[in-house]
Amino acid sequence: MPKSDECVILIKAQPHRSSRYFETVCCAGVGRDQKWRRQYPVPFRILKEDQKFGRWQWISYDFVLPNDDKRKESQKVVSKCLIAKGKMKPGERADFLAPLVRSSLREADDRRDSLALVRPRKIRLEAIEKSPEELASETLKHRELAAQLSLLEEDEDVEPLVPSRMQFVLHWEDQDGKRHRQECDDWETYAAFNRFERDYGEKLALQYLREKYEQQYLAAGLVLGFSTHSRRNLENGSKNQWLLVGMIRLDETNQASLF
């Protein structure tokens, strides 16, 4: 029997092709109880326009518990019941999320988290251009998938996803001084690059993107959003494989100054 829930969205990974669900987006957010929720699968690009949501937006939805995912935060969303609501105010964000911010992935492992926010000490964003062959293969697969989706969604044509020419990799250091290198799967990062490239060309787009994260966000407040791999995690009896799925502007909390 489905249950109802709501949360404020923090994480939207890039759309991925799926043999079971065609094209899906892994999303995650935090409920009013300040606990994580993971919403999967979300067929984001075929949601109705008034259902689509962005970061910091509250959503309500029905869900059932998944049969094939032991992670306590995971919910299988009934997408037709999803409702997009208003956004959380900027002044409310830091204190609300402070209990979920970790100093390292090691701390997240120790707490048996499968979703985590980590505040990095240093970051460097690397852009790797995909080969023409790789890009052509991705483009073809997304066209084929869009054709399948259009057959299912009889009342509308589904535009194929245009894959990014770049793969972004983040080099970062946690508060323990440990260095990491991880591929970035944050949808907003790729959307920002595409927007900058349309307006300014590739060279300036990469420059502006690095300035945005490495300088502006890091100085003002940045947390990295992580999810464990659906199969490679502690609940499945293996070491957590952490995936970088969010690069989020978030101020330091000022709660400590009250005491």
For the chain (259 residues), the mean pLDDT of every run of 10, in chain order, is: 96 77 82 95 84 96 93 93 96 96 97 97 97 91 77 68 92 97 96 95 97 96 96 92 96 59
Residues 105 and 55 in one domain: no
Domain hosting 28: range is 3-88
Residues 15 and 140 in one domain: no
pLDDT confidence of residue 256: 45
Residues 95 and 14 in one domain: no
Residues 16 and 106 in one domain: no
Q: What is the edge-to-edge ordering of all strands in the sheet holding 179-183?
A: 122-129, 166-173, 179-183
pLDDT confidence of residue 20: 59
pTM of the model: 0.91
Strands 166-173 and 122-129: antiparallel
For every residue of 122-142, DSSP letters joined together read EEEEEEEEPPHHHHHHHHHHH
Count how many domains the chain has: 3
pLDDT confidence of residue 258: 38
Residues 237 and 116 in one domain: yes
Residues 102 and 207 in one domain: yes
Handedness of CA 113, 100, 178, 173 (dihedral sign): positive
